[in-house]
C-alpha cells in the first residue's frame, strides 16, 4: 500500500513541483497518472522510491516512511520497487542477461554480484523474467543490438527480476511507436494482473490510459485534480487536467493502427 | 474499451545457449594481462635467447636478389591503397607503378632525397644470416615485453585514478588534484623518465619498463577519466532504482560502459609504447635500441639493417593484431578475418582473387625476365 499524506515537493531552486497531495494506492492496483508536461508526474513517481525527497507531509510504502529515511532503509525499499524508464536506461555494452541480473543485486551476497558470480537460482529468475516479457531469445545479445521496444521489455524484465511489490513506470512508451506502445502496455497490464504487483504508470496521453487503466490520477501544476475511474472522465475533468476542452481527437485511441 | 491483440509474438520460445566465444575471449585477455604481470614481479629476469623459438636453427642462407626494402615499400603502397579504396585493381596498379619507377630512372643521384636513399641503400639488403638474426631477435622480443609490461603497469594504476579524476565521480577538490598530478606525469617524456631512473634502477629492461609504466599512468589516466566523464547517466540511475549503492553504481553501470573503450586505450597505448621501447635502449634502458646504436657505431650497416628489419616487422605484426583486438573489443563482435577482407567472402570469390593475383604476379615476373631487369642494382 502506498499512502501520500499532504505531501509537498519543493525543489532546491524553490520550485514547488508537488503541493498537498494525498492519495492511497492499494496493493495490486493499476494506476495511471496523466497531466501536462511539467505537471509533476515524474516527481510524484520518484517521491515513492525516494529519488526525490518530499519536503512536507508523508509518503509511506507498505508502512515504511520514505521521508527522511536513512540510506540503508531507502536501498532496502528500492530493492522492492521496480522502475521502468522512458529511455530504458540499459547498459548498452553488455548482454541482456547482465542487464536483467542487475535487478537481483540487492538479493545476492555482495562479493558474488561484484565478481559476476551470480547464483544459478538468480540466473533462473532473470531468465524467467525475460520469458515473461517474451524476449528470452535475446538473452545473450548485447543490449545495444535491440530495438527500442525490445529494450523496454528488457527494462521491464530487469524490474521483474527484483520480484517487486511495486512497479513504477515513468512514461514507458513515450519513445516507442504506437504498435510497440500497445505491446509494452499490454505486458505491463498482464504483469499487474498475473503477479498482483502494484503498478503506477505515467502517461502523457489519455487514449492509452483509457485502453489499459482503470484508476486515473490527474495532475495539474503539482496539484491532484482528479482521482477516480477512467470511465468517468468527462469534459469537465479533462479541462481540469489539460486546461482545455476534450476534442474527438483525444478519444481516438490509437485509431491509425 | 478494447485492446488490439497484436498476436505477433510466439508464446513459447526456446531458451538460447550461453555462447562460449565471448567467455574464451575474456579469459584470453585475462591470461595475457596476468602472465606478464607475474613474470614482471620476478624482476624481468628472462633468458630471452633461450626463449627464442628459432634458436635451434643455427644456419641458413638467404641470398637476396632484389632489394628487400624496395619490395616492402611496394607491398606497403599496395596494401595502403587497398585499405583506402577497397579495390584490388587500384592497389595492384599503385604497386605496379611504384615497382616500375626504378626503370624509369627517376631515383638517381638527382632525385631529391638522394641522401636518405643512400643510407637506406646501405642498410639493404639486411644481413639475415642465422647468426645476425639470433643476435637481434631476443632483443626485439625484450622490447615488446618491456612495452607490454609497462603498459600493464600504467593500466593497473591509471584505472582507479581515472575514476578519482573524473568530474562526475568525485568532489571537485579530489578530481582537480588528481588531474593535475596526471598532467604533470604526462608532461615528462618517457626517455627523460628512463634517464632519471637509471641511477635508481640501473641499466636494463626494468628501467625501461618503469619509465613506460610511469608515463602511461599519466596518459591512460587522463584518457580514461575522460571516458568516465562521458558516460550515460541513465544506467547509473537504474542501479540506484534497484537498491544499489555507490559501489554497485560503479560496478554495474559505470564500468560496463567504460571498460571496452578503456581497454582499447590500453592496447593503443601498447602500440605507442612498442615504438617508444625501441628507442629506450639508446639510453641503456633495455631492448633493441642499444643493438642498433652499437651496429651503427661499428658501421656495420647490414647488421643495423637486420635490427631495423626485425623491429619494423615486429611492430607491424603487433600493431595489426592489437588494432584488430581493439576493434573487436569496441564492437563486441568478432570481425571477419583479414583473409575475408582481402580475398572476399565466398570460396569462389577467394579463388578468383587468388587467380587474379597469380596472373598479375606471373606477368610481372615474365616482364622482369624479358626486360632483364636486375633490381639488385638498386
Ligand atoms: N531537479 C529539479 N530541480 C528543479 N526543478 C525541477 C527538477 N525536476 C523537475 N523540476 C520541475 O518540476 C516540475 C515538475 O517536473 P516533472 O518532471 O515532475 O514533470 P512531468 O509531469 O514528469 O513532466 P514531463 O511530462 O515533461 O516528464 C517541472 O516544472 C520541472 O521544471
Ligand atoms: Mg516526467
Model confidence pLDDT, tens digit, residues B301-350: 778 888 888 888 888 888 888 888 888 888 777 666 665 666 666 677 76
Say whether B248 and A105 touch across the interface (CB within 8 A).
yes
Using pLDDT thresholds of 50, 70 and 90, give the confidence band for residue A255: very low
Say whether A137 and B238 touch across the interface (CB within 8 A).
no
Element (H, E) at A215: strand A215-220
Nearest atom, ligand 1, residue A15 CA:
5
Q: Is residue B331, in this structure, part of any structural domain at all?
A: yes
The three grid cell numbers given for residue B174, joined into one nine-digit string = 579530489
Lowest mean pLDDT of A18-27, A33-42, B78-87, name the range: B78-87
Question: Are residues B313 and B164 both part of a single domain?
Answer: yes
Arithmetic mean of pLDDT, B204-216: 89
pLDDT at position B113 over 50: no
Question: Are residues B328 and B346 both part of a single domain?
Answer: no
pLDDT of residue A233: 80
Cα–Cα distance for residue pair A49/A78, rounded to 1 Å: 6
pLDDT tens per residue, range A179-238: 889 989 999 999 999 999 999 999 987 888 888 888 999 999 999 998 988 888 877 778
> Percent of chain B beyond pLDDT 70?
72
H helix and E strand count, chain A: 9, 10
The total domain count for chain B is: 3
Lowest mean pLDDT of A40-44, A52-56, A196-200, B141-145, name the range: B141-145
Question: Are residues B349 and B302 both part of a single domain?
Answer: no
Using pLDDT thresholds of 50, 70 and 90, give the confidence band for residue B378: very low
Please give the angle made by the CA atoms of A7, A11 and A15, to the nearest 5 degrees: 95
pLDDT tens per residue, range A22-33: 999 999 999 999
User: Do A123 and A101 form a contact (C-beta atoms < 8 A)?
Assistant: yes
The larger pLDDT score, comparing residue A181 to residue B57, is at A181
A44 alpha carbon, closest ligand: 1
Name residues whose C-beta falls within 8 Å of residue B210's C-beta, 6 or more positions apart in sequence.
Answer: B150, B153, B193, B197, B201
The three grid cell numbers given for residue A221, joined into one nine-digit string = 501544476
Q: What domain range includes position B377? A: 339-378
pLDDT of residue B63: 40
Arithmetic mean of pLDDT, A24-44: 93
Question: Are residues B244 and B298 both part of a single domain?
Answer: yes
Q: Is the pTM of this model over 0.90?
A: no
Q: Is residue B12, in this structure, part of any structural domain at all?
A: no
* d(CA A202, ligand 2 centre) in Å: 8
What 8-state DSSP symbol labels residue A248?
G
Lowest mean pLDDT of B94-103, B245-254, B295-304, name the range: B94-103
pLDDT of residue A121: 94
To test the contact with chain A by mutation, choose from B30, B242, B330 the residue with the greatest count of A C-beta atoms within 10 A, namely B242
Question: Are residues B231 and B261 both part of a single domain?
Answer: yes
Question: Are residues B153 and B93 both part of a single domain?
Answer: no
Q: Compute CA B306 distance to the chain's CA centroid, rounded to the nearest angstrom.
A: 20
Lowest mean pLDDT of A8-12, B1-5, B144-148, B334-338, name the range: B1-5
pLDDT at position B239 over 90: yes
Q: Does A137 touch chain B (CB under 8 A)?
A: yes
H helix and E strand count, chain B: 16, 0
The larger pLDDT score, comparing residue B206 to residue A160, is at A160
Question: Are residues B330 and B284 both part of a single domain?
Answer: yes
CATH homologous superfamily, domain A2-250 = P-loop containing nucleotide triphosphate hydrolases (3.40.50.300)
User: Do B378 and B102 form a contact (C-beta atoms < 8 A)?
Assistant: yes
pLDDT at position B21 over 70: yes
Question: Are residues B183 and B201 both part of a single domain?
Answer: yes
pLDDT of residue B357: 75
pLDDT tens per residue, range A133-161: 889 999 999 999 999 999 999 999 999 99
Question: Are residues B154 and B236 both part of a single domain?
Answer: yes
Task: Give the CATH number for residue B216.
Answer: 1.10.3720.10
Q: Identify the domain boundary among B335, B352, B370.
A: B335
Residues 21-60 of A with CB under 8 A from B: 49, 51
> Which of chain B's residues have a Cβ under 8 Å away from the Cβ of A140?
16-19
> Which of chain A's residues have a Cβ under 8 Å away from the Cβ of B239?
102, 105
pLDDT of residue B107: 44
Q: Nearest to residue B193, comparing CAs of B263, B276, B256, B269?
A: B276
Question: Are residues B110 and B244 both part of a single domain?
Answer: no
User: Do A165 and A185 form a contact (C-beta atoms < 8 A)?
Assistant: no
> Which of chain B's residues have a Cβ under 8 Å away from the Cβ of A193?
none
Q: Does A148 touch chain B (CB under 8 A)?
A: no
Question: Are residues B143 and B224 both part of a single domain?
Answer: yes
Say whether A134 and B242 touch across the interface (CB within 8 A).
no
A41 alpha carbon, closest ligand: 1
The larger pLDDT score, comparing residue A57 to residue A233, is at A57
Closest chain A CA to residue B333 = A142
Residues 77-136 of A with CB under 8 A from B: 77-83, 85, 87-94, 98, 102-103, 105-106, 113-114, 127, 131, 134, 136
Question: Are residues B313 and B377 both part of a single domain?
Answer: no
Q: Is residue B138, in this structure, part of any structural domain at all?
A: yes
Give burial (CB, 10 Å; 0-12/13-18/19+) of B10. exposed
Name residues whose C-beta falls within 8 Å of residue B299's C-beta, 6 or more positions apart in sequence.
Answer: none
A220 alpha carbon, closest ligand: 1
pLDDT of residue B294: 84
Cα–Cα distance for residue pair B32/B152, rounded to 1 Å: 10
Q: Is residue B49, in this structure, part of any structural domain at all?
A: no
Nearest by CB to residue B242, choosing from A79, A140, A254, is A79
* d(CA A184, ligand 2 centre) in Å: 18
Nearest by CB to residue A140, choosing from B16, B235, B251, is B16
Beta strands in chain A (DSSP E): 2-10, 16-25, 30-35, 56-61, 64-65, 81-84, 166-170, 198-203, 215-220, 223-229
> What integer best gives the mean pLDDT of chain B?
77
Nearest C-alpha to atom 17 of ligand 1 is from which residue? A42
Say whether A75 and B244 touch across the interface (CB within 8 A).
yes
| A216 Cβ inside 6 Å of ligand 1 | no
Q: Nearest to residue B223, comparing CAs of B232, B211, B215?
A: B215
Say whether B242 and A137 touch across the interface (CB within 8 A).
no
User: Do A119 and B255 form a contact (C-beta atoms < 8 A)?
Assistant: no
pLDDT at position B213 over 90: yes
Amino acid at each position: 500500500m502506498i499512502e501520500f499524506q499532504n505531501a509537498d515537493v519543493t525543489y532546491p531552486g524553490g520550485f514547488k513541483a508537488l503541493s498537498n497531495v494525498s492519495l492511497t494506492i492499494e496493493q495490486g492496483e493499476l494506476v495511471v497518472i496523466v497531466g501536462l508536461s511539467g505537471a509533476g508526474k515524474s516527481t510524484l513517481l520518484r517521491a515513492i522510491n525516494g529519488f526525490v525527497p518530499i519536503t512536507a507531509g508523508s509518503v509511506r510504502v507498505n508502512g515504511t516512511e520514505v521521508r527522511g529515511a536513512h540510506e540503508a532503509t531507502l536501498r532496502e525499499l528500492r530493492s522492492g520497487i521496480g522502475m521502468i524508464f522512458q529511455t530504458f536506461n540499459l547498459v548498452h555494452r553488455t548482454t541482456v542477461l547482465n542487464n536483467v541480473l542487475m535487478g537481483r543485486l540487492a538479493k545476492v551476497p555482495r562479493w558474488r554480484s561484484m565478481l559476476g558470480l551470480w547464483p544459478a537460482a538468480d540466473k533462473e529468475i532473470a531468465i524467467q523474467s525475460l520469458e515473461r516479457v517474451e524476449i528470452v531469445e535475446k538473452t545473450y545479445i548485447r543490449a545495444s543490438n535491440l530495438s527500442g521496444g525490445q529494450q523496454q521489455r528488457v527494462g521491464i524484465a530487469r524490474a521483474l527480476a527484483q520480484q517487486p511489490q511495486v512497479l513504477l513506470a515513468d512514461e514507458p512508451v513515450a519513445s516507442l511507436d504506437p504498435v510497440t506502445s500497445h505491446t509494452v502496455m499490454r505486458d505491463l497490464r498482464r504483469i499487474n494482473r498475473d503477479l498482483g504487483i502494484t503498478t503506477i504508470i505515467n502517461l502523457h496521453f489519455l487514449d492509452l490510459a483509457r485502453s489499459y487503466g482503470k484508476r486515473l490520477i490527474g495532475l495539474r501544476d503539482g496539484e491532484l485534480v482528479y482521482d477516480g475511474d477512467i470511465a468517468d472522465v468527462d469534459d469537465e475533468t479533462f479541462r481540469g487536467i489539460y486546461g482545455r476542452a476534450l476534442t474527438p481527437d483525444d478519444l481516438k485511441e490509437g485509431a491509425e493502427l | 474499451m478494447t485492446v488490439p491483440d497484436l498476436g505477433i509474438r510466439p508464446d513459447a520460445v526456446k531458451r538460447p545457449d550461453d555462447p562460449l566465444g565471448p567467455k574464451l575471449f575474456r579469459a584470453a585477455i585475462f591470461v595475457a594481462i596476468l602472465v606478464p604481470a607475474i613474470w614482471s614481479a620476478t624482476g624481468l629476469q628472462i633468458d630471452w635467447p633461450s626463449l627464442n623459438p628459432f634458436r635451434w636453427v643455427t644456419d641458413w642462407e638467404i641470398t637476396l636478389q632484389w632489394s628487400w626494402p624496395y619490395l616492402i615499400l611496394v607491398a606497403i603502397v599496395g596494401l595502403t591503397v587497398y585499405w583506402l579504396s577497397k579495390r584490388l585493381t587500384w592497389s595492384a596498379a599503385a604497386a605496379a607503378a611504384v615497382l616500375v619507377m626504378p626503370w624509369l630512372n627517376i631515383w638517381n643521384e638527382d632525385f631529391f632525397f638522394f641522401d636518405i636513399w643512400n643510407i637506406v641503400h646501405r642498410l639493404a639488403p639486411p644481413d639475415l644470416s642465422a647468426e645476425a638474426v639470433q643476435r637481434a631477435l631476443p632483443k626485439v622480443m625484450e622490447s615488446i615485453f618491456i612495452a607490454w609490461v609497462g603498459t600493464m603497469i600504467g593500466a593497473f594504476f591509471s584505472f582507479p585514478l581515472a575514476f578519482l579524476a573524473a568530474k562526475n565521480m568525485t568532489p571537485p577538490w579530489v578530481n582537480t588534484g588528481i588531474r593535475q598530478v596526471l598532467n604533470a606525469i604526462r608532461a615528462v617524456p618517457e626517455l627523460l623518465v628512463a634517464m632519471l631512473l637509471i641511477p635508481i634502477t640501473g641499466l636494463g629492461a626494468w628501467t625501461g619498463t618503469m619509465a613506460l609504466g610511469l608515463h602511461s599512468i599519466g596518459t591512460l589516466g587522463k584518457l580514461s577519466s575522460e571516458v568516465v566523464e562521458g558516460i550515460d547517466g541513465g544506467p547509473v540511475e537504474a542501479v540506484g532504482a534497484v537498491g544499489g549503492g555507490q559501489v554497485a553504481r560503479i560496478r554495474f553501470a559505470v564500468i560496463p560502459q567504460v571498460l571496452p573503450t578503456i581497454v582499447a586505450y590500453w592496447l593503443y597505448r601498447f602500440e605507442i609504447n612498442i615504438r617508444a621501447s625501441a628507442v629506450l635502449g639508446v639510453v641503456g634502458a633495455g631492448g633493441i635500441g642499444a643493438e642498433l646504436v652499437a651496429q651503427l657505431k661499428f658501421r656495420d650497416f647490414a647488421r643495423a639493417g637486420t635490427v631495423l628489419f626485425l623491429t619494423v616487422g615486429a611492430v607491424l605484426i603487433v600493431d595489426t593484431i592489437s588494432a584488430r583486438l581493439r576493434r573487436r573489443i569496441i564492437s563486441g563482435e568478432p570481425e571477419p578475418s583479414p583473409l575475408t577482407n582481402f580475398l572476399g567472402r565466398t570460396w569462389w570469390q577467394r579463388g578468383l582473387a587468388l587467380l587474379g593475383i597469380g596472373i598479375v604476379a606471373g606477368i610481372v615476373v615474365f616482364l622482369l625476365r624479358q626486360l632483364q631487369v636486375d633490381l639488385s642494382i638498386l
